[in-house]
Structures are given as C-alpha cells and as structure tokens.
C-alpha cells in the first residue's frame, strides 16, 4: 500500500480498531508511512482523553440516574442590554457520549455551531424557551429567566424527572432539582443546554443586526461593549433594548 492508501484506510477505521490498524505501519521501513501511523495513534490518544473527560462530566447524570430521566438546563443572555434571555433543556442519550460537549464559554463560535447540530440530532429531546426584552422589563431578568427555563422544560418529550441546573433553583416546577455551581463545566447535560441556548440566542441577535445594523448586534450580541454603548448614546434605544438595563447609560 502507498501512503495515500494507508491514510485513507486509517481515516476510515473506527476508533475501537485504530490501534490494531496502526500497529503494522508503525514499524514500516518507510518514514512517511510511520509518520501517518503516528498521526493516527495521536488521534486515538486524544479520543481516549476526550472520553475520559466526558466520563467525568457524566458524574451527576450517573449519580441521579435512579430518579429516572434527567435533563440539563442552562440559559444565555442574562447580562445583555438588548434582546431576549434564552433557556435550553437537554436530555442526552445514555448509550453514547457526544464528543467535545463542554461549557459553551470554553468553545469557539465555530465549534458551538457544529455541536449545536450534533446535539439537536443526537439528543433524546431538546427544549428552548425565551423571554423577550418586554417580559424582562416587566418582571425582572431573574423571573424572566425562570420563565424561559420552565418553558424549555415543558417542551421536553419524554418528561424529565430530575433537572440538573447551573446554580439556580427554578420555582414553579414539580421536578427534583439539583443545583450545581459552575454546572456547565461539570455536567455534560448542562453543557449541552448551554450550547443550545447560546447558539440559539446568537443566531437571533445576528438576525436583529440586519434590522438594526447601527448597533452592531452581530458582533457583541447585545452585551454592553463600548461600541454598543456609543451607538446607544448616538441613536437612542431600538425596540429590542431592555429599558430597565439602559436607564443609567442614557441618563449619564
């Protein structure tokens, strides 16, 4: 086999069989062949480390599995000056992990977008809830976040019997809740929810950018960057700004 054929063979070999497939090429007299085999051995080692990391992130899911169906829940957009707050609830499959799921803040935008599609395809169920800027102004950001979370949980099918929450306790639901500080970095289910919430909101803010291009929503997603604050002072608020969040800025 030439190097191209070996590369193709190894690239199509399942991880479970990769070490055995690489073995004969690691001692090949051709340096180029050994280099290809070593590359795939490194890929296999990275895969094993990723499985170990994900196994650690399933600690809470295993701990509470006797309660029944478990979902992770998280939100995106509590702090911005504009746009909705978005919550997501995710029930992950038990039989296979979704590789590279992690706290959305630890992932690049490109990786979040890729994982969004994988989670939507492979998760048992996903729910997304939103509370608009008007709702945020009417009932405050914390209560609006809880409302979005309840809506997200309500969309799940099957219904969960336990929620893993990133720090908060959600009022008004009759489900066992587990509060985990920095849960999006400790629970795969919460991490998956953080990705869905973040990508959903970011996509929405990019659409708002087309309606109100002077504010730069596509870049800062409604957060209080200097560019956003300068635009707010120059143009005044637009319909998606949170009046309760920008009073101080406009009064300066």
How high is the pLDDT of residue 45?
96
pLDDT in tens, 168-218: 999 999 999 999 999 999 999 999 999 999 999 999 999 999 999 999 999
Per-residue 3-state assignment (H helix, E strand, C coil) for 75-129: EECCCCCECCEEEEEEECCCCCCCCCCCCHHHCCHHHHHHHHHHHHHHCCEEEEE
Computed from CA positions of residues 94, 100, 105, 111, in that sequence, does the dihedral angle turn out positive or negative?
negative
Residue 228 has pLDDT above 70, yes or no: yes
Residue 252 has pLDDT above 90, yes or no: no
How high is the pLDDT of residue 127?
98
Round to whole Å and give the CA distance between 172 and 30. Answer: 67
How high is the pLDDT of residue 128?
98
How high is the pLDDT of residue 104?
94
pTM as predicted: 0.92
How high is the pLDDT of residue 96?
83
Q: What residue ranges do the domains of the chain occupy?
A: 3-56, 59-206, 208-250
User: Residue 248: pLDDT band by 50, 70, 90 thresholds?
Assistant: confident
How high is the pLDDT of residue 180?
97
Q: In this structure, are residues 221 and 112 in contact, taking their beta carbons and an 8 Å threshold?
A: no
Q: Is 47 exposed, middle or buried (0-12, 13-18, 19+ CB in 10 A)?
A: middle
pLDDT in tens, 117-147: 999 999 999 999 999 999 999 999 999 999 9
Residue 161 has pLDDT above 80, yes or no: yes
Top CATH class of 59-206 equals: alpha beta
Q: What is the mean pLDDT of residues 100-111?
A: 95
% of the chain residues with pLDDT over 90: 96
pLDDT in tens, 4-33: 999 999 999 999 999 999 999 999 999 999
């Amino acid at each position: 086999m030439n190097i191209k054929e070996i590369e193709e063979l190894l690239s199509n070999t399942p991880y479970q069989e990769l070490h055995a497939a690489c073995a004969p090429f690691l001692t090949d007299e051709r340096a180029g062949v050994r280099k290809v085999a070593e590359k795939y051995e490194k890929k296999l080692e990275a895969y094993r480390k990723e499985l170990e990391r994900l196994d650690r992130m399933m600690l809470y899911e295993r701990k509470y599995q006797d309660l029944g169906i478990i979902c992770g829940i998280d939100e995106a957009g509590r702090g911005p000056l504009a746009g909705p707050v978005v919550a997501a609830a995710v029930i992950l499959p038990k039989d296979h992990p979704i590789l590279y799921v992690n706290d959305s803040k630890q992932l690049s935008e490109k990786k979040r977008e890729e994982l969004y599609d994988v989670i939507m395809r492979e998760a048992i169920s996903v729910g997304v809830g939103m509370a608009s800027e008007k709702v945020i102004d009417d009932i405050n950001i914390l209560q609006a976040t809880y409302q979005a979370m309840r809506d997200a949980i309500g969309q799940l099918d099957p219904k969960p019997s336990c929620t893993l929450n990133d720090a908060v306790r959600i009022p008004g639901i009759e489900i066992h809740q587990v509060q985990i500080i920095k849960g999006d970095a400790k629970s795969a289910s919460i991490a998956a929810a953080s990705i869905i919430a973040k990508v959903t909101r970011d996509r929405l803010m990019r659409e708002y950018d087309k309606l109100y291009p002077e504010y730069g929503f596509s870049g800062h997603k409604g957060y209080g960057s200097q560019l956003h604050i300068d635009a707010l002072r120059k143009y005044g608020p637009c319909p998606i700004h949170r009046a309760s969040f920008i009073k101080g800025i406009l009064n300066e």
